[in-house]
């Protein structure tokens, strides 16, 4: 009704004769379309502004799944509403497919970390590709999806393997060397003291101290206004 009144008023401003009902309806429809376009444009601008204001960071875990600590980690991540990225070893996927299924069901991103945690750069291309493909097949058998991302052990990768394996290499910005200490506070501080926007954090889900450190890192950085995302959002958004 309000739109019809507006349409009639607009028409009278330009014409002396009263508008026909058909013309009035047409004018009203055009007003609605214009109002909708304006609202959609304003909404889009607000969304872009909100995204630009977010401080993003990605937390990642290598060498899993671990039968002792990955479920503990998954529980804490779910409690905090955080999505992480897991770079899995093929041999551990074969041992604990049910944990891989839980990682996938919880909406985390799964990547490849080779089958046996070997330095791929020291292998011939055929052997390196086998390490990747064997892991990808193991993950696909559980999740129904092939991974797109790889974190090569030790960060050691051959450039030609990007093409040969069709994988996207993902390294890291912060490595607190969590496997060298059992002190979760030390691990967490090494991260929170250095982190900046769009950083990728490297951790492992192979010890209680690393898992507890992950929770401390998440809690602290969220207090500082950071939003945790998976690595694909860091790399491509």
pLDDT of residue 110: 98
Active-site annotation, residues: 62, 204
Answer whether 0.85 is exceeded by the pTM. Answer: no
pLDDT of residue 37: 45
Alpha carbon 46 to its chain centroid, in Å, reads 22
pLDDT of residue 176: 98
Give me the percent of the chain exceeding a pLDDT of 70: 78
pLDDT digits (tens, 9 = 90+) for 48-93: 445 567 899 999 999 999 999 999 999 999 999 999 999 999 999 9
pLDDT of residue 108: 98
CB under 8 A, 24+ apart: contacts of 215-220 = 215/76, 215/80, 216/184, 216/185, 216/188, 217/59, 217/188, 217/191, 217/192, 218/59, 218/77, 218/80, 218/82, 219/80, 220/188, 220/192
* Model confidence at 155: pLDDT above 70: yes
């Amino acid at each position: 009704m309000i739109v019809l009144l507006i349409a009639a008023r607009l028409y009278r401003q330009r014409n002396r004769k009263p508008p026909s009902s058909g013309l009035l309806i047409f004018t009203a429809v055009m007003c609605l379309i214009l109002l909708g376009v304006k609202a959609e444009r304003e909404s889009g601008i607000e969304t872009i502004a909100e995204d630009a204001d977010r401080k993003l960071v990605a937390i990642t875990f290598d060498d899993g799944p671990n039968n002792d600590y990955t479920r503990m980690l998954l529980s804490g991540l779910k409690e905090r509403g955080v999505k992480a990225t897991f770079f899995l070893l093929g041999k551990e996927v074969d041992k604990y497919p049910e944990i891989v299924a839980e990682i996938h069901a919880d909406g985390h991103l799964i990547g490849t970390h080779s089958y046996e945690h070997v330095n791929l750069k020291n292998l011939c291309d055929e052997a390196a590709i086998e390490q990747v493909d064997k892991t990808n097949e193991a993950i696909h058998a559980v999740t129904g999806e092939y991974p797109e991302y790889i974190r090569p052990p030790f960060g050691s990768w051959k450039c030609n393997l990007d093409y040969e394996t069709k994988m996207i290499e993902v390294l890291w910005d912060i490595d607190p060397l969590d496997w060298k200490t059992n002190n979760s506070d030390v691990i967490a501080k090494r991260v929170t003291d250095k982190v900046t926007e769009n950083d990728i954090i490297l951790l492992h889900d192979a010890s209680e101290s690393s898992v507890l450190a992950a929770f401390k890192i998440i809690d602290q950085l969220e207090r500082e206004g950071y939003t945790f995302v998976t690595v694909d959002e860091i790399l491509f958004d």
